Amino acid sequence: MRISKRFFPDYKFSSISYIDINILKNRGIKFAILDIDNTLVPYTSPKPDDNALNFLNKLKENGIKYCFVSNNHGGRINLFNEEIGAPVYPNAAKPLLLGIRKAMKAFGANKKNTVIIGDQVFTDVWGGKRAGILTILVDPIKECNTAFFRFKRHFERIIVNDFELNQRENKK
At closest approach, how far in Å is the CB of 117 from Mg ion? Answer: 10
Task: Report the C-alpha gap between 164 and 8 in whole angstroms.
Answer: 9
Sites for Mg ion among residues 71-100 (CB under 5 A) = none
- Sequence-separated (6 or more) residues with CB below 8 Å from residue 60: 66
Interface with Mg ion, residue 119, by CB under 5 A: yes
38 is a site residue for Mg ion (CB under 5 A): yes
Q: Which residue is nearest to Mg ion (CB)?
A: 37
The piece of 49-57, 74-82, 85-93, 113-121 that touches Mg ion (CB under 5 A) is 113-121
- Candidate residues 30, 37, 94, 115; the one interacting with Mg ion per rule CB under 5 A: 37
38: burial class by Cβ within 10 Å (0-12, 13-18, 19+)?
buried
User: Which stretch, 27-35, 88-96, 99-107, 159-167, contacts Mg ion (CB under 5 A)?
Assistant: 27-35
CA separation for the pair 97, 80 (Å, rounded): 23
Helix (DSSP H) and strand (DSSP E) numbers for the chain: 6, 6
Interface size with Mg ion, residues (CB under 5 A): 5
Q: Where on the chain is the footprint of Mg ion (CB under 5 A)?
A: 35, 37-39, 119
